[in-house]
């Protein structure tokens, strides 16, 4: 009976230690998963940010093409206005109008793609920030201690 009284507290301590170890191990696994997720997201973010320049260039080129096509369309319409019965000019004006419409659509598409890329980057930055906030639960960052500068001391040496 006395052995049971001694073994009962020891077994309770062992059980508590085992539960705490399991919780610590689960926290360690969770924190590692967060670190992996943050790393993957940061890699993806870098790739997306590298695409911004190309998408900007594509958008600018599409805008220039749309403006040029619209100008060509205006010139073709003016030529047709001068000679409305000329079938060749009518066909040319019709083709230029189709080109202008197509290029305007391409320009809108490139603009949308750039906007979507910027939105995806912002969403990814938010996701990374949230994951880092969750990670800070497992690894709190120490508060920086302010540095104090020593008070200047008067120089007591005599200089000639």
* Inside any domain, residue 14: no
* 59 is a domain residue: yes
Q: How far apart are CA 75 and CA 92, in angstroms?
A: 10
DSSP conformation letters of 65-117: HHHHHHHHHHHHHHHHHHSTT-HHHHHHHHHHHHHHHHHHHHHHHHHHHHHHH
Range of the domain at 104: 30-135
The answer to the question of residue 72 being in a domain is: yes
Q: Please indicate, yes or no, if residue 80 is contained in any of the structural domains.
A: yes
Residue 123 falls inside a structural domain: yes
More confident residue, 145 or 98: 98
157 domain-assigned: no
Does pTM surpass 0.75? no
Q: Is the pLDDT of residue 152 over 70?
A: no
What's the pLDDT at 143?
57
Q: Which residue would you say has higher pLDDT here, 20 or 59?
A: 59
Please state, in angstroms and rounded to a whole number, the distance separating the CA atoms of residues 81 and 85.
9
Share of the chain above pLDDT 90, in %: 59
Number of folded domains in the chain?
1
Least Cα distance to 133 among 6, 53, 34 occurs for 34
Mean pLDDT of 133-154: 67
**Using 50, 70 and 90 to split pLDDT, how confident is the model at 21?**
very low
Per-residue DSSP letter, 139 = S
pLDDT of 156 reads: 57
In a domain, 141, yes or no: no
Residue 15 belongs to some domain of the structure: no
């Amino acid at each position: 009976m006395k052995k049971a009284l001694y073994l009962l507290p020891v077994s309770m301590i062992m059980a508590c230690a085992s539960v705490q170890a399991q919780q610590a191990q689960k926290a360690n696994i969770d924190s590692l998963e967060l670190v992996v997720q943050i790393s993957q997201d940061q890699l993806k973010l870098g790739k997306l940010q590298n695409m911004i320049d190309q998408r900007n260039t594509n958008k600018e080129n599409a805008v220039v093409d749309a403006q040029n096509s619209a100008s060509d369309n205006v010139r073709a319409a003016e030529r047709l206005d001068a000679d409305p019965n000329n079938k060749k000019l009518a066909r040319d004006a019709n083709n230029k109008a189709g080109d202008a419409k197509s290029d305007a659509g391409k320009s809108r598409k490139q603009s949308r793609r750039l906007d979507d890329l910027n939105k995806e980057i912002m969403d990814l930055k938010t996701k990374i920030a949230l994951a880092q906030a969750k990670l800070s639960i497992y690894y709190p960052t120490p508060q920086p201690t302010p540095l104090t500068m020593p008070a200047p001391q008067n120089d007591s040496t005599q200089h000639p």
